[in-house]
Each structure stands twice: as structure tokens, then as C-alpha cells.
Amino acid sequence: MSKLFQRLGSLSNSHVGFDFELKAKRFFEISGINLHRNYEVEVGVGLIKKKHRFDLGSYEEKILVECKSHCWTSGNNVPSAKVTIWNEAMYYFYSSPDDYRKIMFVLKDKRSSTGETLAQYYIRIYHHLIPTGVEFWEYDEEKFIAEQIY
């Protein structure tokens, strides 16, 4: 039986996410930046802080990376539940230490009807939720390259 919300050809959504994190890690390694998986820092908007794990990060380089391999739905619609996850990532970036570089590393997925990527859509609609200094990088799985778009 096929699972309605699982990416075609994948074992599970968690496998898709894990594989994408490894691709991101490899991209940064090639760029000379060594990142660690499940990188933990304290986050919080007030005096009380709590540890949170980012997908990738580095104490030496002072970098935090969230990886998202989300796509448009099969009907070319906005994956609204996934967009909520992106909003949550923005909040964690906002509440993380100021001295870190913050990168949202996402899969480049174009909407067939408009050619707009999911990241371009997110930036256009939700730019008011993106903290100052957060970078958006799109990873092209076919070309094995990433480009900063914000």
C-alpha cells in the first residue's frame, strides 16, 4: 500500500531528510566548511534558554544550518504543513545566538505551473518572518550545486 504523504521512490520521509542532510554536509565540506550533524546550541528569547539541535552546525565556524528537502505537492499546491516547519525554523534561528551565521539549506524544487521554486515562494510570502541575516541556499540535486538566493 502506498503512503499518501511519502515521497515517491523513498523508503521513508525520515530517510529523505537524512540523505538531504548528508548532501548538505558534503556541499559545505567541498566549500571548506566542516559541519557536525545534530549540532546543539542554547536558544531562547528571554533569560531562560533551552538546548536545541540544528541539523548541521559548527562551533569553530559559528554556523547553524537547517536542511529542508520539501517539494511542491503532486497537484502543484503549497505544502502548507511543510511551510509551517519552515516558519518554526525561522523562530529557532531568531532565538539562537547572534554570533552565528544562519543558513536555511533547501531543495530547489520548481512549481511546474509558474517556475517559481518553493524557497522563492516562501521568501516572497513570508519574508516578514525571516530574521535579519538568515541566508537561504537552494540545492540543485541534478547539478550537485547550491546557490544563495537570499
Q: Are strands 135-140 and 101-107 parallel, antiparallel or unpaired?
A: parallel
Please say whether the structural domain 13-148 has been given the CATH code 3.40.1350.
Answer: yes
Handedness of CA 85, 89, 90, 92 (dihedral sign): positive
Reduced to 3 states, what is the DSSP secondary structure of residue 30? helix
Low-confidence ranges of the chain (pLDDT < 50): 1-8, 10, 12
Q: Which pLDDT value is given to residue 14?
A: 60
What pLDDT, on a 0 to 100 scale, did the predictor assign at position 16? 85
- The contacts of residue 130 (CB under 8 Å, 6+ apart) are 90, 123, 136, 150
pLDDT of residue 15: 73
- Report the pLDDT value the prediction gives residue 6, as an integer from 0 to 100: 43
Taking the alpha carbons of 83, 84, 88, 91 in that order, is the dihedral positive or negative?
Answer: positive
d(CA 106, CA 55): 12
